[in-house]
Amino acid sequence: MHRIFLQIAFIFTLSVQLVCAGPIEECHEFAAYGIPSLSGDLLCRRGFLLAHDPAKKTPVWVAQHLTSHKVKGAAKRSNDFKPDADLEQGKRAELSDYKGSGYDRGHMAPAADMAWDEQAMSESFYLSNMVPQAGVGMNRGIWMELEKKVRRWAQQRGELYVYSGPIYEREPKTIGRNHVAVPRYLFKVVLDPQQKEAIAVIMPNEKLNTGDMPRFLVNVREVEKQTGLDFFSTLPAAEQEKIETVKVQQLWQ
Does residue 195 belong to any structural domain of this protein?
Answer: yes
- Catalytic residue flag (residue 69): no
Residue 61: domain span: 3-244
State the total domains in the chain.
1
SS3 for the chain is CCEECCCCEEEECCCEEEECCCHHHHHHHHHCCCCCCCCCEEEECCCCEEEEECCCCEEEEEEEEEECCHHHCCCCCCCCCECCCCCCCCCCCCHHHHCCCCCEEEECCCHHHHCCCHHHHHHCCEHHHEEEECHHHHHHHHHHHHHHHHHHHHHHHCEEEEEEEEECCCCCCEECCCCEECCCEEEEEEEECCCCEEEEEEEECCCCCHHHHHHHEECHHHHHHHHCCCCCCCCCHHHHHHHHCCCCCCCCC
Task: Give the pLDDT score at 23.
Answer: 55
pTM of the model: 0.91
Does residue 87 belong to any structural domain of this protein?
Answer: yes
Which of 28, 65, 69, 107 is flagged as catalytic? 107
Task: Give the pLDDT score at 147.
Answer: 98
What digits encode the pLDDT tens for the residues 154-169? 999 999 999 999 999 9
Does residue 212 belong to any structural domain of this protein?
Answer: yes
Mean pLDDT throughout 81-98? 97
Does residue 251 belong to any structural domain of this protein?
Answer: no
Does residue 249 belong to any structural domain of this protein?
Answer: no
pLDDT at 14 over 90: no
pLDDT at 62 over 50: yes
Does residue 250 belong to any structural domain of this protein?
Answer: no
CATH number at residue 59: 3.40.570.10
What digits encode the pLDDT tens for the residues 175-204? 999 999 999 999 999 999 999 999 999 999
Does residue 122 belong to any structural domain of this protein?
Answer: yes
